[in-house]
Amino acid sequence: MAPTAQMNSSNGKAISFKAARCNPCLSEQSSSLRGVVAELMACANPDKPVVSLGVGDLSGHPSFRGAHHFAQFVADAVVTGDFDGYPPSCGYPFSRRAVAEYLARGVAAAGETATADPDDVFLTCGGTQALQVCLAALATRGCNVLLPRPGFPPYDAACAIYAIEPRYYDLSPVNGWEVDLARVKALADDRTAAIVVINPNNPCGAVYSRRHLLQRWRGD
């Protein structure tokens, strides 16, 4: 039986209800990097000191708390009351325009002529929502997506939620964590909707060379 909890109603009487069970696809161990790191730390030798570099969250370190001006901008926006309602699901137009202008500057610095359009920008609440939106748009039930191994746990969870089959291609540690291209070719078929490329790689930290990236897409 599921655990129960209580809360008080408006007339002061206690109301009992069953606590909802977590979707197994969203369990801490399968969908959270912190959950994976916690499992690894639990296996560590207790007689040796361990420094965990698994979660790069700087907010817990006072030396990195320097965004005071940014905090003031947020406070000023809250005071105006202009943002009390629901925002557009793809982000405010002025925010998308600012992102497009920033990307356009980067393209120009690289000597390219392409421009970025605000209508091509979709803002999400973090990277996890971004990958969920991308997978939902690219693949449907019965499709498969090629994922790197080692990889980033939320991709597996997103595939499970959308009934997408994850297929894993390996990264070779002896080759600087480059992709096993033969494995990629063997995995792909007419139901392959996408291949996930994490570069710079998380968790391996590898940065692919231009030669390797071109080799991947051309299939050389």
Q: Which residues contact 96 (CB under 8 A, 6 or more apart)?
A: 90, 118, 119, 121, 122, 123
Same domain, 102 and 163: no
Residue 103 domain boundaries: 85-123
| 196 belongs to a structural domain | yes
Q: Is the pTM of this model over 0.95?
A: no
- pLDDT score for 1: 41
CATH code of the domain containing 208: 3.40.640.10
- pLDDT score for 157: 85
End-to-end CA distance of the chain: 56
Domain count along the chain: 2
- pLDDT score for 80: 93
Bridge partner list, 195: 146
- pLDDT score for 42: 85
Same domain, 146 and 214: yes
Same domain, 134 and 190: yes
- pLDDT score for 19: 53
| 145 belongs to a structural domain | yes
Is the Cα torsion angle 207, 212, 214, 218 positive or negative in sign?
Answer: negative
- Tokens describing residue 15: 């109301």
- pLDDT score for 109: 59
Return the biggest CA–CA distance within the chain. Answer: 72
Same domain, 136 and 205: yes
Angle at which helix 33-42 crosses helix 153-161, to 10 degrees, equals 120
Same domain, 118 and 140: no
Same domain, 95 and 179: no
Distance set, CA 123 to CA 98, 104, 119, 170 (Å): 11, 16, 11, 31
| 167 belongs to a structural domain | yes
Residues of the chain falling short of pLDDT 70: 1-33, 53-57, 66-68, 106-114, 216-220
Same domain, 154 and 194: yes
- pLDDT score for 92: 94
Same domain, 116 and 162: no
Indicate left, alpha or beta for 88 from its phi (over 0: left) and psi (-120 to 50: alpha).
beta
Angle at which helix 126-138 crosses helix 153-161, to 10 degrees, equals 40
- pLDDT score for 208: 92
- pLDDT score for 98: 94
Domain boundary among 97, 123, 149: 123
Alpha helices in the chain (DSSP H): 28-31, 33-42, 68-80, 93-109, 126-138, 153-161, 181-187, 210-218
Same domain, 140 and 193: yes
- pLDDT score for 31: 57
Tell me how far apart the alpha carbons of residues 166 and 23 are, in angstroms, rounded to a whole number.
18
Model pLDDT for residues 188-211, shown as the tens digit of each residue: 999 999 999 999 988 888 899 989
